[in-house]
């Protein structure tokens, strides 16, 4: 039976098939997805040339020719795939070990089956050529099965990390040594069973080394990811600390200045009031007014600095949605720069919302334009405030954006969603944002309601509400319905409410 194994290892064809299979394994273990069909044609040509070269070196260099084969594969693939030579050589030796190991196992299994069947029917069932053919088919099946396993589909990724390659090279080298002994027919009969048993054990060891290296690599990546997260968190904490230190320095400087100037101005006004008993002259009136104006200016600067520090250092709610959390931080920073008080309240779970009614990216697009427009509008008013509310009402999700900014133009409200319009063209507004909003509203059948409130010193001037109700309506509720053109919204089925809703 064992003699059949040796006869299976015929010269050039066997070498060619083994080299081709080694190149295939090489491509998979190093995950060389960038190779084209032309590269594979070159690989077949190279395999044919190398197989004949190794065969011709049999007489002068019976053992060293296999070293030549490994080096040639390393050089060829290094140049073709444009990777480091040391990595290419390591991949070549390991792929040769896997290829030759599976071939030896396949040849042993096919020859054993042929011998058993021959003895059962008392005649040969298959000749040497077909034994070789079926051995290669079984080898291909083993290799395909190996890379069907999910853990091995991306190859030996850790070979590029310069660690844990010594054990794999040693096991592959042992498999190659056993193959060379079989190929050169220099194995004593008493050692043949032992060597054949060593081959599957070596392959199992190679697979165990592969799995262990992947686990080590994954753990390293997890540690690196955790380290990056810690570094990011630490950088964020450092940024907050620097921001607090800057705010503290500003407030300390203001307090230091005001503690002296306000007291001095108070003394000056007190002196003027208590000691001056003559008729009020124009010059005296101007001095008193100048002192009062200076006091008002200092108090105004003090109030603005305190408000700015409060806005910059207030904590923001966290939604656990990366897009929405990043958006909230961005708009909050923008509002702080424009001295606008920006508040967000979440009365619903945003990840549930994005998984149930609208993807996170589209939701972020809607909220970004609405909140940015509200901040810009509020920045032009004396009382600067924006409130964003996420919640549920009447059985559906709702997002409400309220601001104290300038009201919408009549033309803007009647043209929304039909053509690009904007109320802040002087600041670079193009109206494209609302066109994008209405595209998303139509796609997901979201209703948009604009509510205008009567002017008040410290109240919201307008509210924009998104309702995920599946109706896709556009409604305007206003305290000034008479200013809108008749039937302004009817052609598109949109509604104009004559009264402001409660």
Kindly list the structural domains of the chain, giving each domain's residue range(s) and its CATH number in brackets, ordered by start: 2-227 (no CATH), 315-497 (3.30.565.10)
Q: Is 457 in a helix, a strand, or coil?
A: coil
Residue in the block written with tokens 């950088």: 235
Q: Is 70 exceeded by the pLDDT of residue 120?
A: yes
CA dist 154 → 32, 87, 399, 439 (Å):
10, 16, 44, 40
**Predicted confidence (pLDDT) per residue in 129-143, tens digit:** 667 777 778 878 888
Cβ-proximal residues to 485 (8 Å cutoff; 6+ apart), any chain: 410, 414
pLDDT at 490: 47
pLDDT at 2: 43
Q: Is 60 exceeded by the pLDDT of residue 485?
A: yes
Q: Is 60 exceeded by the pLDDT of residue 502?
A: no
CA dist 386 → 359, 458, 502 (Å):
25, 12, 19
Helix runs in 34-84, H state only: 37-56, 64-81
Using a pLDDT cut of 70, give the percent of the chain over it: 72
Residue in the block written with tokens 């595209």: 439
Q: Is 60 exceeded by the pLDDT of residue 495?
A: no
Lowest mean pLDDT among 58-67, 237-246, 269-278: 269-278
Cβ-proximal residues to 153 (8 Å cutoff; 6+ apart), any chain: 147
Helix runs in 122-191, H state only: 128-148, 166-183
**Average pLDDT value for residue range 166-191:** 74
Q: Considering only residues 318 and 293, tell me which one the structure prediction assigns the higher pLDDT.
A: 318
pLDDT at 463: 92
**Predicted confidence (pLDDT) per residue in 3-56, tens digit:** 444 444 466 777 777 788 888 887 777 777 667 777 778 777 887 788 777 777
Type and span of the H or E element at 401: strand 396-403
**Average pLDDT value for residue range 100-109:** 80
Residue in the block written with tokens 């003027």: 272
The model's confidence at residue 402, banded by pLDDT at 50, 70 and 90, is very high
Using a pLDDT cut of 90, give the percent of the chain over it: 5
pLDDT at 162: 54
Lowest mean pLDDT among 31-45, 84-98, 105-119, 300-314: 300-314
**Predicted confidence (pLDDT) per residue in 295-308, tens digit:** 666 666 665 665 55
CB atoms within 10 A of CB 101: 26
The model's confidence at residue 499, banded by pLDDT at 50, 70 and 90, is very low
CA dist 31 → 100, 172, 255 (Å):
20, 19, 64
The model's confidence at residue 111, banded by pLDDT at 50, 70 and 90, is confident
Cβ-proximal residues to 451 (8 Å cutoff; 6+ apart), any chain: 462, 463, 464, 465, 476, 477, 478, 500, 501
Distance CA(368)–CA(354), nearest Å, equals 15
The model's confidence at residue 97, banded by pLDDT at 50, 70 and 90, is confident
Q: Is 80 exceeded by the pLDDT of residue 469?
A: yes
pTM exceeding the 0.75 threshold for the entire prediction:
no
Q: Is 70 exceeded by the pLDDT of residue 174?
A: yes
pLDDT at 204: 87
């Amino acid at each position: 039976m064992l003699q059949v194994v040796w006869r299976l290892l015929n010269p050039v064809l066997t070498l060619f098939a083994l080299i081709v299979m080694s190149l295939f394994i090489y491509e998979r273990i190093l995950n060389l997805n960038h190779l084209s069909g032309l590269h594979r044609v070159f690989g077949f040509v190279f395999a044919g040339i190398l197989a004949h070269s190794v065969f011709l070196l049999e007489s002068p260099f019976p053992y060293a020719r296999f070293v030549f084969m490994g080096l040639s594969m390393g050089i060829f693939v290094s140049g073709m795939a444009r990777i480091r030579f040391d990595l290419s050589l390591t991949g070549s030796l390991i792929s040769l070990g896997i290829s030759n190991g599976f071939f030896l196992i396949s040849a042993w299994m096919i020859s054993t089956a042929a011998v058993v069947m021959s003895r059962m029917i008392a005649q040969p069932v298959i000749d040497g050529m077909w034994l070789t053919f079926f051995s290669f088919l079984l080898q291909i099946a083993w290799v395909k099965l190996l890379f069907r396993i999910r853990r091995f589909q991306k190859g030996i990724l850790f070979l590029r990390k310069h660690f844990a390659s010594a054990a794999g090279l040693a096991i592959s080298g042992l498999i190659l040594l056993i193959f060379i002994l079989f190929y050169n027919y220099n194995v004593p009969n008493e050692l043949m069973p032992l060597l054949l048993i060593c081959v599957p054990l070596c392959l199992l060891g190679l697979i165990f080394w592969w799995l262990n290296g992947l686990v080590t690599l994954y753990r390293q990546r997890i540690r690196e990811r955790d380290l990056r997260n810690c570094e990011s968190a630490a950088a964020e904490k450092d940024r907050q600390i620097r921001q607090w230190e800057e705010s503290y320095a500003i407030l300390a400087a203001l307090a230091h200045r005001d503690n002296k100037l306000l007291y001095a101005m108070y003394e000056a006004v007190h002196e003027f009031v208590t000691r001056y008993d003559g008729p009020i002259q124009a010059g005296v009136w101007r001095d008193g007014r100048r002192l009062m104006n200076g006091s008002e200016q200092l108090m105004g600067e003090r109030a603005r600095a305190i408000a700015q520090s409060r806005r910059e250092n207030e904590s923001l709610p966290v939604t656990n949605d990366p897009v929405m959390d990043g958006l909230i931080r961005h708009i909050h920073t923008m509002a702080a720069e424009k001295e606008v008080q920006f508040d967000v309240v979440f009365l619903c779970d945003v990840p549930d919302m994005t998984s149930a009614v609208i993807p996170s990216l589209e939701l972020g697009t809607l909220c970004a334009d609405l909140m940015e427009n509200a901040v810009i509008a509020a920045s032009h008013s004396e009382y600067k405030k924006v409130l964003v509310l996420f919640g549920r009402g009447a059985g559906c999700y709702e997002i409400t954006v309220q601001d104290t900014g300038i009201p919408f133009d009549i033309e803007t409200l009647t043209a929304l969603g039909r053509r690009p319009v904007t109320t802040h063209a002087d600041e670079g507004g193009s109206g494209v944002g609302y066109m994008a909003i209405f595209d998303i509203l139509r796609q997901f059948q979201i209703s948009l309601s604009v509510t205008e409130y009567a002017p008040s010193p410290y109240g919201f001037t307008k509210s924009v509400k998104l309702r995920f109700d599946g109706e896709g309506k556009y409604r305007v509720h206003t305290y000034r319905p008479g200013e809108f053109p008749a039937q302004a919204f009817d052609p598109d089925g949109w509604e104009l409410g004559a009264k402001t809703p409660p």
